[in-house]
Structure 1
């Protein structure tokens, strides 16, 4: 449940009967050990880039999204249509086709591609977890195309945090990325927000600090599938993949600055229906 002052407390939710399908286990992935990982619909690629690196994204059938944080280096996206320089935090969206990244400094870059991309699907470290599709997760169907396909950069500097909005949310045809506010010090343990999702995974990307992910698996009739509650502490960079319909909440725990970025694929309808929440909604229409 959300507190009254949490913007998510007004989200429209739909009650639906439980499918009875298996509830999969959460995954906690250290991106320094496993830099290429996947969820049902998305592959996440973490790169500790170095000045002068030339990163080949491959020739993609879908869009590429690049998550740029305050620690990321400047870089240039190169496509057949030209070059786009990026030198501040935000989200970059690259249209389908061949592209490269020329890196101008040292630091982390996170790329998102669709899980079916031939250039990446055989390189993920946790492929065994998705040997079969997870029955509770809605498969990706791309949302409508933008009016013009080109490289787009959405800098965070143009959209300051607003307590009436939940984070800073951008979407593409295949992904939704939410840059949550920086958390200075540990989260108040009396003000957590346990909740669940009916039919989509959440990827919680920790890019700074440390988090404790609290996850509870609902009981199904078959008691042999029950799990103990999990309270997993993990640093950064890491990604935690939270399956539906587990009850979950995450708490920053580092005494310094903590930053979490949530990723969804396909984009969330409930967030998209909230006026003003999706900051690039004019570029990427809803179905």
Structure 2
């Protein structure tokens, strides 16, 4: 599935696919986040696009200076994905406040929290799909009226070392490493991979079509444009077959890629392109690779 120089070629899942279950294969989903929530809308809620997958809800807010974003009182952790375009902000919990003004991943413990915004720009929040206040807001809630049989349900990984706390993992000081696939962080419920910025289009002769056995991939485009190439395997029921898809999306956008579709994403903007991949629960195969998960000391494996 991968070229020999692709670090994913050494993953256990790259060489040992599971026998097929025969269950129905879900359709891929594609979202232009600014179309769902116009960035010029007056209120933070109206500027927030909410989309869900089986186990995770993603909320993309075009925040403005002075916005006060209420995360609610959550049973699980909240993660905030901070990009180079994100504003400075302060996370406020019952334990105090934490200011963030550089890209990375913020993890907020269960309970009540708010985000006070100091500049303009996008903020991306992740919550567990079991959180009803967020789950019910999702634009695609109907797509998950029933659980997708091929997607493993979330079971939280162990508590972080030292117990619940606001933690910030900055990207600064974490150089790209060709032996490691992106810059990966995990929580009890999520895994976020900040893929490298690509200058110009991806070489169409060096794509990496591959499959996943039992988890969805959320590919969030934060810069540039991507063509998501998706092929649904043929099962015995030909009424469920789908044509190959080659869907072009700008940014910000989200593609939800179901198992076991064959997929690869091709950067196509002549300038800068960047994807952030999100998984829930965290990927075991990535976690088993020494040095790949940058905050593994804080968040142990099961």
Q: Report the TM-score, using the length of structure 2 for normalisation.
A: 0.94
2:65 corresponds to which of 51, 55, 58: 51
Residue 284 of structure 1 corresponds to which residue in structure 2? 299
Structure 1 CA distance for aligned equivalents of residues 121 and 84 of structure 2: 9
- Asked if the contact 1:201/1:241 (under 8 Å) is kept, the reply is yes
Stretches of 4+ aligned residues off by more than 3 angstroms = none
Matched, 1:97 2:111: yes
Structure 2 CA distance for aligned equivalents of residues 244 and 226 of structure 1: 14
- Asked if the contact 1:7/1:166 (under 8 Å) is kept, the reply is yes
Secondary structure, aligned partner of 1:119: helix
Cα offset for 1:70? 0.3
Residue 32 of structure 1 corresponds to which residue in structure 2? 34
Cα offset for 1:158? 2.2
Residue 9 of structure 1 corresponds to which residue in structure 2? 9
Matched, 1:22 2:20: no
Structure 1 CA distance for aligned equivalents of residues 27 and 17 of structure 2: 23
2:289 corresponds to which of 261, 274, 277: 274
Q: Report the TM-score, using the length of structure 1 for normalisation.
A: 0.99
- Asked if the contact 1:211/1:251 (under 8 Å) is kept, the reply is yes
Secondary structure, aligned partner of 1:65: strand
1:239 corresponds to which of 246, 254, 257: 254
2:229 corresponds to which of 208, 214, 232: 214
Unmatched 5+ residue regions in structure 2? 37-48
How many residues are paired up?
287
Secondary structure, aligned partner of 2:9: helix
Structure 2 CA distance for aligned equivalents of residues 17 and 89 of structure 1: 40
Structure 2 CA distance for aligned equivalents of residues 32 and 80 of structure 1: 32
- Asked if the contact 1:59/1:119 (under 8 Å) is kept, the reply is no
Unmatched 5+ residue regions in structure 1? none
- Provide the aligned C-alpha RMSD in A: 0.6
Structure 2 CA distance for aligned equivalents of residues 10 and 218 of structure 1: 24
1:131 corresponds to which of 109, 134, 145: 145
